[in-house]
Amino acid sequence: MMGMLSPLEQGRVNERATSERSERAGRDGRDVMRAYDAPPAEVLLPALRNGRLDRHTQADESRPTYYGRPMIKRPTWRWWIPVYFFLGGVASGASFIGALAEFFGGTEHRSTVRHARYLSLVLAALCPIFLIADLGRPKRFVNMLRVFKISSPLSVGTWILMGFGLLSGAQAVRQAAEDDFIIRKRSTLGRLARLLPSGPLTALHGLFGMGLGGYTGTLLAATAVPLWAAAGIFLGPLFLAASATSGAAALVLLGVLSGRQSREARRQIQVVANAASAVQFGLAAAHEGFTTERINRPLRRGRWGRLFRYGAVGGGLFLPAGLRFLAWLSGPRLERVFSTTAATCTLLGTLAERVAIVEAGKESADDPLAYQELTAARPGEARPTPEQQARTAPKVAPYMIGVAAFDTEPSGDPRVR
């Protein structure tokens, strides 16, 4: 049959067949590329697995990935770490407010100072336990104390935790001697404890407490996890503000339960809590505003988004603020009820914030497109083409066998030395 065709017809048939093969290969190639570029649903966020993909981010979805596999390793932190962040934050806020009460509160805040010192000691003793539980072996925690690197948030934070623990112990021992509690005031240890300088210890305790409250957010921001690194400058102040809020709530709760805190002292602590809550909300809004939708998706959608929105912001900021306002307008009995409820909601909301940020950060580490957006890396842009390399390459002499580089003629290109 093909032999009966004229050369002209045979050429047309061959050209048509070649065109069909090219079109079919192009379709197959595009299908393969789409399958190559589309990340499998099981390695991305729960919103994608549930089929609720935002169509307005289709431009971002077109970026190539390696079968949707994560570009960085997911953090292996367990639930010990968010609890450690929470307890350290409460201790931080309690020590800072206790220092303010010591210097400016007078006799009305003696119970506040007492509760702050005892609470700081208990939480400072619990924090290393949770940290070591996540590390696996106590030796790893000891090894972190062998060096001190000012450029490492983890190293600085470890030493802040140790210094805070020692100062909390000294403050609690002095307070116990003054209260004749466990340590007798007239005993040798009691007399030595009361010789400790209260003013310098209190100032250092408050400063180390502020460092403990803020370093955890800085530690997260120093990682390569997209949600933590993007607009990470807000995470340290955000954690510090949340520490002040939760510390004030813990002191209010202890004051109500002990019955030794006056209503005026409680109101003054709640003023600090209101100011810290306002700063905390502003920093959370700034962090979300300066983070792109793709990177911030785990904190806006899914279970961690709901926990952050309804638990941390709604139940941990707005609801306690309303309850504190009602406490100001109520009588003595209802004031204690509203204050206790507001303090409990604040503590639970702060814990929800820590858990949501840590767990949402883990999910953002699984999203390769979020990491590309964080680093502004689109495949092909960072690597020059061969033509660009040829244009920018220095004019060097070709390699010749037996001729050393210093035997060749120098290049006229100023970039070649």
DSSP-assigned states of every residue in 354-415: HHHHHHHHHHHHT-HHHHHHHHT--TTTSSPPHHHHHHHS--PPPP-TT--GGGSPPPS-TT
For the chain, what are the domain ranges? Answer: 80-372
Contacts of residue 293, defined as CB under 8 A and 6 or more positions apart, other chains included, come to 54, 57, 300
> In a 3-state reduction of DSSP, which class is residue 178?
helix
- For residues 173 and 176, what is the distance between their CA atoms, to the nearest angstrom? 5
pLDDT of the residue at 194: 82
**pLDDT > 70: percent of the chain:** 74
Contacts of residue 185, defined as CB under 8 A and 6 or more positions apart, other chains included, come to 177, 178, 191, 194
Q: What's the pTM value of the predicted model, to 2 decimals?
A: 0.72
Does 51 or 47 have the greater pLDDT score? 51
Look at the domain 80-372 and name its fold.
Formate dehydrogenase/DMSO reductase fold (1.20.1630)
Nearest by Cα to 209 from 255, 253, 251, 168: 168
Residue 307 has pLDDT above 80, yes or no: yes
Look over the chain and give the mean of its residue pLDDT values, rounded to a whole number.
Answer: 79
State the DSSP H helix or E strand holding residue 331, giving kind and residue range, or none if neither: none
> What are phi and psi for residue 385, nearest 5 degrees?
-75, 165
- For residues 18 and 21, what is the distance between their CA atoms, to the nearest angstrom? 5
- For residues 71 and 369, what is the distance between their CA atoms, to the nearest angstrom? 9
Quick: pLDDT tens for 20-42: 655 654 554 444 334 333 333 33
